[in-house]
């Protein structure tokens, strides 16, 4: 009985790992090229993330690999650290990635993983929207077969009309057809289309199309068939400069935030409701990024798109992540020359779809629906990221969000610790009565106290009647706490005033629906 169950679990993980690997192959290559890195670097990251990160990690259902969310940082690091020399810039970026991995190990050891979820949601969404728009701005030119002059995202968008007037018909025709296939394939009525990932079909179609129209070799993927040439070692001399440390810190912060958010989101989709160890997951990504950067691989995170696919393909354990790494490695060893048949326009089509999902207007509408206070952090992060860079954008968005929350009632003395009373009733209920605003920076300490009650098997009542303002990030975490307590057969109750902020009313109504 036990062996039969174990065999069924392995079959499910093998099927999921194989299916995810078919998604990971074209995406990893496309992310590499969009980052200004060798095509092999994304595949190296996917392999290490699967083989090493799977058994080191603190989650069961996530898939590790290079991510669209890091494209902007990696590209900027290569350009800045290379001073015009892309090869030297890539080696410098690898060094920054190794140091970033060391930072992530430190973050995990200091238990920053679970605290990272307190970062303002508006800033995260603004960051991802900006990244999506930057991907679109860059990949639109690749799809058109046009080499832009501009480097800044805003100027790249302004150059798109000129690109249309100077497009290469054969490249654009293949790229546009790939984009159409990518969007239509999942909507076809046949059952087999649900089993074959659209990105894989797109690159296969692109390869045949490129051969049929005899596309120029310069428009195809350039990847060495000699795997020995894939290994590139970092140049740590860049870590003697401000730009080197800036790249490392930016990579560490953004990769850690994305990993924490992705792992938390995928954990909610786990059909077995297994708890994620976010601190261990950060530590594992740190080890993997140090290994990947040491031999020529891109930095990686717990990637949300592939992880969602993993859940959809009915994976059962972390072994699906491991098997996905094995299958990517096998494909690289068995078919290295086949990869050079893939047209860049087809990869651009895949990335354009990824970018359109990240930068979709629906994110703006969601921010507006949540509240104008949330919209400020979102817009400031997005605009400053597009105009300046990602690290400055994140900092500006967080400051803007904090200033808005001060305007709405937050007192400076409650920035990192809210004012609350705590007492235990004779019914084994721990009551927390909050008397100050709750925001992303001060909820961490209160959350830690609430989680202690879960370990003590006590029910919790959170009284927010005297709370002047609660931000959206805190509301999300309160909902998660309620869910966690329910999984432990404990009660988590909130008490809100009728005049409370609309976000509080939304939470109250959602609790009534779940009751």
pLDDT for 160-192, tens place per residue?
999 999 999 999 999 999 999 999 999 998 888
The rounded distance, in Å, linking the Cα atoms of 459 and 155 is 55
Domain boundaries, the chain: 2-71+86-119+169-344, 413-514
The rounded distance, in Å, linking the Cα atoms of 91 and 78 is 8
Enumerate residue ranges in the chain where pLDDT < 70. Answer: 1-5, 116-118, 497-515
Greatest distance between any 2 Cα atoms in the chain: 80
Mapped onto helix, strand or coil, the DSSP state of residue 224 is: coil
Residue 414 to residues 310, 379, 476, Cα–Cα distance (Å) = 41, 25, 20
CATH topology of domain 413-514: Transcription Regulator spoIIAA (3.30.750)
Closest by CA position to 53, among listed 258, 285, 255, 278:
285
In the block, residue with structure tokens 């400053």: 384
The rounded distance, in Å, linking the Cα atoms of 320 and 342 is 26
Q: Which two tokens stand for residue 503?
A: 């976000």
Give the model's pLDDT for residue 4.
57
Residue 359 and residue 136 in contact, taking contact as beta carbons nearer than 8 Å: yes
Measured in whole angstroms, the distance separating CA 37 from the mean position of its chain's CA atoms is 19
The rounded distance, in Å, linking the Cα atoms of 186 and 17 is 19
In the block, residue with structure tokens 């060391």: 102
From start to end of 146-295, where are the E strands?
A: none
Residue 103 and residue 283 in contact, taking contact as beta carbons nearer than 8 Å: no
The rounded distance, in Å, linking the Cα atoms of 383 and 287 is 33
The rounded distance, in Å, linking the Cα atoms of 174 and 348 is 11
Give the model's pLDDT for residue 2.
53
Helix (H) or strand (E) holding 361: helix 361-370
Q: Which two tokens stand for residue 34?
A: 């969009």
Give the number of C-alpha atoms closer than 13 A to the C-alpha of residue 389, restricted to the C-beta side.
18
Residue 345 and residue 181 in contact, taking contact as beta carbons nearer than 8 Å: no
The rounded distance, in Å, linking the Cα atoms of 368 and 376 is 9
Helix (H) or strand (E) holding 461: strand 459-463
Give residues with Cβ within 8 angstroms of 136, minimum separation 6.
352, 355, 356, 359
Sheet containing strand 429-434, edge to edge, reads: 420-424, 429-434, 459-463, 492-495
pTM score of the predicted model:
0.85
The rounded distance, in Å, linking the Cα atoms of 3 and 47 is 29
Closest by CA position to 230, among listed 96, 104, 94:
94
Please state whether beta strands 459-463 and 63-65 pair in parallel, antiparallel, or not at all (unpaired). unpaired
The rounded distance, in Å, linking the Cα atoms of 346 and 476 is 38
Give residues with Cβ within 8 angstroms of 318, minimum separation 6.
54, 55, 57, 59, 60, 61
């Amino acid at each position: 009985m036990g062996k039969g169950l174990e065999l069924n679990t392995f079959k499910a993980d093998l099927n999921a790992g194989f299916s995810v690997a078919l998604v990971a192959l074209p995406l990893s290559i496309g992310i590499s090229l969009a980052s200004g890195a060798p095509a092999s670097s994304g595949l190296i990251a996917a392999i290490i993330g699967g083989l090493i990160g799977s058994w080191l990690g603190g989650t069961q259902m996530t898939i590790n690999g290079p991510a669209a969310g890091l494209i902007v940082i990696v590209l900027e690091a290569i350009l800045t650290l290379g001073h015009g020399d892309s090869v030297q810039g890539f080696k410098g970026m690898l060094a920054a990635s190794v140091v970033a991995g060391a930072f992530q190990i430190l973050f995990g050891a200091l238990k920053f993983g679970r605290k990272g979820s307190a970062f303002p949601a508006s800033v995260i969404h603004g960051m991802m929207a900006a990244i999506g728009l930057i991907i679109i701005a860059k990949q639109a030119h690749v799809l058109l077969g046009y080499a832009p002059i501009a480097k800044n995202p805003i100027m790249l968008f302004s150059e798109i009309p000129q690109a249309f007037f100077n497009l290469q018909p054969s490249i654009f025709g293949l790229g546009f057809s790939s984009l159409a296939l990518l969007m239509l394939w999942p909507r076809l009525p046949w059952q087999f289309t649900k089993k074959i990932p659209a990105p894989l079909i797109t690159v296969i179609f692109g390869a045949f199309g490129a051969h049929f129209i005899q596309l120029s070799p310069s428009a195809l993927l350039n990847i060495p068939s000699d795997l020995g040439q894939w290994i590139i070692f970092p140049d740590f001399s860049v870590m003697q400069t401000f730009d080197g440390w800036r790249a490392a810190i930016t990579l560490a912060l953004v990769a850690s935030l994305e990993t924490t958010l992705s792992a938390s989101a995928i954990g909610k989709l786990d059909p077995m409701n297994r708890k994620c160890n976010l601190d261990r997951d950060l530590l594992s990504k740190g080890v993997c990024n140090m290994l990947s950067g040491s031999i020529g691989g891109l930095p990686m995170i717990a990637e949300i798109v592939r992880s969602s696919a993993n859940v959809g393909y009915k994976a059962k354990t972390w072994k699906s992540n491991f098997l996905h790494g094995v299958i990517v490695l096998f494909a690289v060893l068995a078919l290295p020359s086949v990869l050079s048949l893939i047209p860049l326009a087809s990869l651009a089509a895949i990335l354009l779809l990824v970018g359109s999902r990240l930068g979709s207007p629906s994110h703006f509408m969601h921010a507006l629906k949540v509240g104008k206070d949330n919209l400020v952090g979102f817009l400031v992060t997005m605009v400053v990221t597009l105009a300046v860079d990602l690290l400055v954008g994140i900092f500006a968005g967080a400051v803007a969000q904090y200033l808005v929350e001060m305007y709405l009632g937050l007192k400076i003395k409650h920035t990192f610790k809210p004012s609350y009373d705590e007492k235990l009733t004779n019914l084994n209920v721990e009551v927390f009565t909050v008397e100050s605003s709750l925001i992303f920076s001060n909820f961490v300490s209160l959350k830690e106290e609430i989680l202690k009650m879960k370990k003590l098997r006590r029910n919790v009542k959170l009284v927010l009647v005297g709370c002047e303002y609660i931000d959206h990030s805190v509301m999300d975490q309160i909902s998660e706490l309620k869910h966690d307590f329910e999984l432990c057969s404990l009660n988590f109750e909130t008490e809100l005033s009728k005049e409370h902020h609309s976000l509080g009313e939304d939470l109250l109504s959602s609790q009534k629906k779940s009751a």
